[in-house]
């Protein structure tokens, strides 16, 4: 639903008279308003431009205090000069009035007469938005899922006019920072229960600006509500002539600080309407001393590298050291304070000491693992800038140092204990690079054979940590601002489920490279790119995330990697730009306001050593109409929230339960829509119907069910499943749902002329049309690209023409193309124009680059070459990603729809 019908009740609560506002700026006296701002409904006081304008233009009409101030020449900034430095009250009022007068007038909007919900049609016709029936369109589910809708933007948030105090284009919170599953929120819990839709938020607290986007604006000083500590935001209302502001979350009136209108430092007027925190929904503040318990910490990285026999066999230590060496310049080090440390782990611990300025690293081997100690009190934690030479020397020699290491066993836990001691109260990030099972020391893990348990209910046991040591330690470390990243390399059993607890409770990330081998170049390239990118990322340190919501709403559960410190406070020792958090919301008491608000505040230290607060405010209208709720649902957000809930459930309950719950929820939603919003509310129906905004729900559910994280069957190794679960749990919907759960499929033999070339207006590479994720789309004469984020597939049909093979991969024909893993070659050598005869390769390279950009460069997928009659393993992997097709454990899309329809018709859900 894209029109005003979403918020009819809200729109009715108008008390702004555009004519009046406009005339306040011209020198003519406005005609008396039809009703004074005093008549504004209770709890919805006059906006500042309404109230203050009246005061400025009509002299004593609204607030006596403001009226006594000299009336400024309209539109002339700083017409009123404050009475010296003393800044008397009258001057303050004058300044407020002047500031109000400086505000750019709102473009006259179509009239918003006071009308009730009944006036819906009238309003719509007045707004010139047509009948609006298109928005209430129901889609009959049949045949193929409408894949084109996957790339559509979520339903627009329609706020009643005047909700924001400044008419700025930036007051709407971008969906990739924060989105709500319902863009029209039911007023009562009863209505919400009736729709069965999940109500929650998806937050990406430290979203980094994409290429071409402006950086987050920085506001000058922090203004917060006295009672609920909400930060001031574009949705507050100014009352009493602009001298107080009404908090939009708790309705308390707060004083507006003098600094809003007057700069005491330079002794000049300020225009409060230019403040970033009144113009933008996402702002940053530089935190003053009160927000710091200690000086901002430097970025600290401790690399705990597995150097046992298992790791040396696949060449992990060498590649890791080389990657770190090449990324040393990219590790954030703006202040020259960054510290790094390296610990090698086999059945004993290897520490490395470098004296500042010295070139010779010194190795200490500690083999007393019962009571682990640091071999030297200093110089284990190296200043990256001062010890650069020594660090480079150490990393260059790292591989040769351990090349002949035959020590079996891994003392990860004592190593972590030692690192914990090393970081002490400083905090930092411990990157665990693991290639074997931690078998030595206190928190050791026993190997768990998984072979015969896969696909049985006992598999769920394997997803649970073996002992509580890791969780307890992670909780301790979270308090000391220590975060963990766990990187699993190779195919040895590593008990990912147990060890990844370290990352789970400290806001860290989990990486998994099962097919890594130092000899496989594509795998090494991929690891190097992703790992280097990860350690070079601009992360937030020692962070806390707090969520606030309007009265009547309550957060009930959170999903993601964090440690929950109190009901609305997540402790994140480290937060990366590509970590999202999902929140379950609940309506505690009926909502009365036309709009509700959600505010998140992330207090963090940047890698530049600045303490900052990032505040994001989302405003969502409320409604009493069940149709409006359904037609304004955000299916991507809903599927993302449901998938996060499902994998979270898989970790605590059974996998089967998680799948059941997900399927049941979809069934409930479709059932609720059928009974509440369609004519065939009771009795059987031949075709299921869903609102346009939810038309993809069955497909998204099916994709979640078939994804590695939840897939049934016995061909998913536990390690891969755990890694997938962690990604689903932490990634924001822009990466996590698409392309990670729902891949993208393109036909390369049949590219439209524009595809693969930059768009003329935006300069962004145009993508070809998406195909349905079904083997039916794969024509035998064609070549197809399937992009799933962290891996991609090139599918060659049996009859693909030699010309196509030459233009794409410089191979004579299909038979000559090697099956298996490749890095997609750029035959133009990175040039800006295609090399002779390789135009297709050039275009596909660009398309791939654009697809990786869409994932914020998080992954560098290896490309699996899959031929129609090629290796069955790769064909199986590809088939698992074609989610519309039937496989051994899950139905096809049509069958799934049939099942849903039968269950709904039977009413047995």
Tell me which residues touch other proteins (CB under 8 A): 265, 286-289, 292, 294-298, 334-337, 356, 378, 381, 383, 385-386, 423-426, 609-611
Residues 128 and 10 sit within 8 Å (Cβ to Cβ): no
Measured CA to CA in angstroms, residue 139 lies from 131, 152, 696, 779 at distances of: 18, 16, 10, 29
How far apart CA 405 and CA 398 sit, in angstroms, is 12
Whichever of 297 and 728 has its CB closer to other proteins, that residue is 297
Exposure string over 851-867, b if 16+ CB within 10 A, otherwise e: bbebbbebbbbbbbbbb
Whichever of 430 and 897 has its CB closer to other proteins, that residue is 430
- Work out how close the CB of 471 gets to other proteins at its nearest, in angstroms, rounded to a whole number: 24
Which secondary-structure segment (H or E) carries 574? strand 569-575
Whichever of 128 and 295 has its CB closer to other proteins, that residue is 295
For residue 257, the tally of other CB atoms under 10 A from its CB is 13
Whichever of 85 and 406 has its CB closer to other proteins, that residue is 85
How far is it between the farthest Cα atoms of the chain? 92
Whichever of 247 and 340 has its CB closer to other proteins, that residue is 340
Exposure string over 716-746, b if 16+ CB within 10 A, otherwise e: bbbbbbbbbbbbbbbbbbbbbbbbbbbbbbb
- Work out how close the CB of 607 gets to other proteins at its nearest, in angstroms, rounded to a whole number: 12
In the block, which residue shows the tokens 């665990």?
432
How far apart CA 592 and CA 273 sit, in angstroms, is 28
**Of 557, 596, 675, 588, residue with least CA distance to 184:** 596
- Work out how close the CB of 29 gets to other proteins at its nearest, in angstroms, rounded to a whole number: 42
- Work out how close the CB of 265 gets to other proteins at its nearest, in angstroms, rounded to a whole number: 5
Beta bridge partners of 246: 237, 253
- Work out how close the CB of 383 gets to other proteins at its nearest, in angstroms, rounded to a whole number: 7
- Work out how close the CB of 544 gets to other proteins at its nearest, in angstroms, rounded to a whole number: 18
**Of 534, 527, 531, residue with least CA distance to 576:** 534
How far apart CA 804 and CA 838 sit, in angstroms, is 10
How far apart CA 403 and CA 879 sit, in angstroms, is 39
- Both ends of the chain: CA-CA distance in Å? 28
Measured CA to CA in angstroms, residue 816 lies from 520, 842, 863, 865 at distances of: 20, 20, 17, 12
Whichever of 31 and 424 has its CB closer to other proteins, that residue is 424
DSSP label at residue 120: H
Whichever of 425 and 682 has its CB closer to other proteins, that residue is 425
- Work out how close the CB of 426 gets to other proteins at its nearest, in angstroms, rounded to a whole number: 4
How far apart CA 189 and CA 590 sit, in angstroms, is 7
Q: 570: which residues sit within 8 A by CB, 6+ positions away?
A: 544, 545, 546, 558, 560, 562, 563, 564, 581
Burial status of residue 761 (CB atoms within 10 A of its CB: 0-12, 13-18, 19 or more): exposed
- Work out how close the CB of 816 gets to other proteins at its nearest, in angstroms, rounded to a whole number: 57
How far apart CA 830 and CA 849 sit, in angstroms, is 11
Whichever of 294 and 330 has its CB closer to other proteins, that residue is 294
- Work out how close the CB of 299 gets to other proteins at its nearest, in angstroms, rounded to a whole number: 12
- Work out how close the CB of 170 gets to other proteins at its nearest, in angstroms, rounded to a whole number: 23
- Work out how close the CB of 270 gets to other proteins at its nearest, in angstroms, rounded to a whole number: 14
Whichever of 335 and 813 has its CB closer to other proteins, that residue is 335
Cα 908 to its chain centre, rounded Å, is 36
- Work out how close the CB of 422 gets to other proteins at its nearest, in angstroms, rounded to a whole number: 8
- Work out how close the CB of 363 gets to other proteins at its nearest, in angstroms, rounded to a whole number: 22
Whichever of 106 and 480 has its CB closer to other proteins, that residue is 480
Torsion sign across C-alpha atoms 583, 587, 591, 594: positive
Whichever of 284 and 523 has its CB closer to other proteins, that residue is 284
Measured CA to CA in angstroms, residue 442 lies from 372, 410, 416, 480, 853 at distances of: 11, 12, 11, 21, 43
- Work out how close the CB of 610 gets to other proteins at its nearest, in angstroms, rounded to a whole number: 7
Whichever of 294 and 781 has its CB closer to other proteins, that residue is 294
Whichever of 173 and 380 has its CB closer to other proteins, that residue is 380
**Of 403, 391, 473, 398, residue with least CA distance to 438:** 473
Whichever of 386 and 657 has its CB closer to other proteins, that residue is 386
């Amino acid at each position: 639903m894209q029109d005003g019908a979403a918020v009819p009740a809200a729109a009715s609560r108008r008390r702004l008279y555009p004519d009046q506002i406009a005339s306040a700026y011209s020198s003519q006296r406005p005609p008396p308003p039809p009703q004074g701002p005093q008549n504004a409904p209770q709890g919805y006081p006059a906006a500042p431009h309404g109230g203050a304008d009246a005061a400025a233009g009509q002299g004593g009409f609204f607030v006596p205090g403001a009226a006594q101030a000299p009336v400024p020449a309209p539109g002339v900034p700083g017409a009123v000069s404050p009475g010296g430095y003393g800044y008397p009250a009258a001057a303050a009022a004058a300044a407020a009035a002047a500031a109000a007068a400086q505000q750019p007038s709102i473009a006259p909007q179509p009239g918003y007469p006071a009308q009730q919900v009944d006036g819906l049609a009238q309003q719509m016709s007045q707004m010139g938005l047509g009948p609006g029936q298109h928005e209430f369109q129901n889609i009959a589910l049949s045949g193929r899922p409408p894949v084109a809708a996957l790339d559509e933007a979520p339903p627009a948030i329609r706020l009643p006019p005047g909700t924001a105090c400044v008419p700025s284009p930036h007051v709407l919170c971008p969906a990739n920072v924060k989105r709500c599953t319902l863009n029209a929120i039911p007023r009562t819990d009863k209505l919400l229960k009736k729709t069965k839709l999940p109500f929650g938020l998806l937050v990406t607290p430290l979203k980094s600006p994409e290429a071409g986007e402006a950086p987050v604006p920085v506001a000058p000083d922090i203004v917060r509500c006295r009672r609920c500590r909400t930060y001031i935001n574009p949705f507050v209302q100014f009352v009493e002539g602009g001298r107080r502001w009404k908090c939009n979350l708790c309705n308390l009136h707060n004083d507006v600080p003098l600094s809003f209108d007057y700069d005491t430092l330079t002794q000049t007027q300020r225009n409060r309407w230019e403040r970033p925190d009144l113009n933008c929904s996402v702002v940053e503040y530089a935190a003053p001393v009160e927000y710091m318990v200690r000086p901002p910490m430097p970025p600290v990285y401790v690399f705990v590298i597995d150097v046992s026999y298992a790791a040396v066999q696949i060449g992990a230590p060498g590649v890791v050291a080389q990657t770190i060496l090449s990324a040393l310049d990219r590790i954030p080090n703006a202040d020259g304070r960054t510290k790094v440390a390296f610990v090698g782990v086999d059945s004993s611990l290897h520490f490395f000491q470098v004296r500042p300025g010295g070139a010779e690293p010194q190795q200490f081997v500690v083999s007393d693992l019962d009571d682990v100690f640091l071999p030297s009190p200093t110089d284990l934690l190296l200043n990256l800038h001062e010890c650069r030479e020594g660090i480079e020397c150490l990393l260059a020699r790292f591989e040769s140092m351990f090349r002949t290491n035959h020590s079996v066993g891994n003392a990860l836990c004592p190593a972590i204990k030692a690192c914990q001691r090393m970081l002490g109260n400083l905090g930092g990030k411990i990157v665990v690079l693991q290639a074997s099972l931690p078998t030595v020391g206190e928190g050791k893990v026993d190997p768990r054979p998984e072979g015969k348990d896969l696909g049985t209910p006992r598999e769920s046991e394997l997803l649970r940590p073996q002992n509580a040591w890791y969780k307890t330690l992670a909780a301790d470390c979270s308090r000391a601002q220590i975060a963990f990243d766990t990187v699993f390399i190779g195919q040895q059993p590593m008990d990912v489920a147990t060890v990844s607890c370290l990352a789970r409770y400290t806001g860290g990330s989990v990486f998994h490279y099962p097919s890594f081998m130092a000899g496989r170049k594509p795998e090494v390239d991929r690891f190097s790119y992703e790992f280097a990118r990860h350690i070079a990322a601009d992360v937030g340190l020692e962070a806390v995330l707090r969520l606030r919501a309007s009265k009547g709403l309550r957060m009930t559960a959170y999903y993601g990697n964090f440690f929950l410190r109190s009901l609305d406070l997540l402790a994140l020792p480290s937060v990366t730009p590509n970590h999202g958090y999902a929140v379950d919301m609940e309506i505690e008491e009926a909502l009365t306001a036309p709009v509700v608000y959600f505010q998140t505040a992330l207090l963090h230290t940047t890698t530049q050593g600045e303490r900052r607060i990032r505040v994001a405010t989302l405003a969502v209208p409320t409604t009493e109409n069940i149709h409006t709720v359904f037609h304004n649902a955000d299916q991507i957000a809903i599927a993302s929230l449901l998938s996060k809930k499902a994998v979270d459930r898989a970790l605590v309950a059974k996998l089967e339960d998680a799948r059941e719950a997900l399927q049941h929820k979809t069934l409930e939603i479709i059932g609720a829509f059928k009974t509440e919003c369609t004519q065939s509310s009771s009795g059987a129906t031949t075709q299921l119907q869903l609102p346009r905004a939810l038309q993809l729900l069955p497909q998204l559910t099916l994709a979640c069910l078939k994804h590695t994280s939840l897939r049934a069957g016995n061909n998913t190794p536990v390690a891969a499943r755990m890694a997938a679960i962690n990604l689903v749990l932490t990634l924001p919907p822009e990466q996590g749902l698409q392309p990670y759960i729902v891949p993208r499929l393109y036909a390369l033999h049949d590219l439209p002329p524009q595809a693969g070339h930059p768009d003329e207006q935006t300069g962004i590479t145009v993508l070809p049309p998406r195909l349905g994720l079904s083997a039916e789309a794969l024509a035998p004469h064609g070549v197809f690209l399937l992009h799933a984020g962290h891996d991609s597939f090139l599918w060659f049909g049996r009859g693909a023409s030699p010309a196509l093979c030459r233009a794409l991969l410089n191979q004579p024909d299909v038979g000559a193309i090697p099956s298996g893993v490749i890095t997609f070659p750029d035959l133009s050598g990175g040039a800006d124009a295609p090399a002779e005869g390789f135009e297709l390769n050039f275009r596909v390279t660009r398309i791939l680059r654009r697809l990786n950009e869409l994932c914020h460069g998080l992954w560098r997928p290896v490309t699996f070459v899959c031929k129609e009659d090629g290796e069955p393993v790769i064909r199986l992997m590809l088939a698992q990603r074609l989610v519309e097709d039937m496989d051994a454990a899950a139905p096809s899309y049509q069958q799934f729809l049939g099942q849903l329809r039968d269950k709904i018709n039977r009413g047995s859900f």
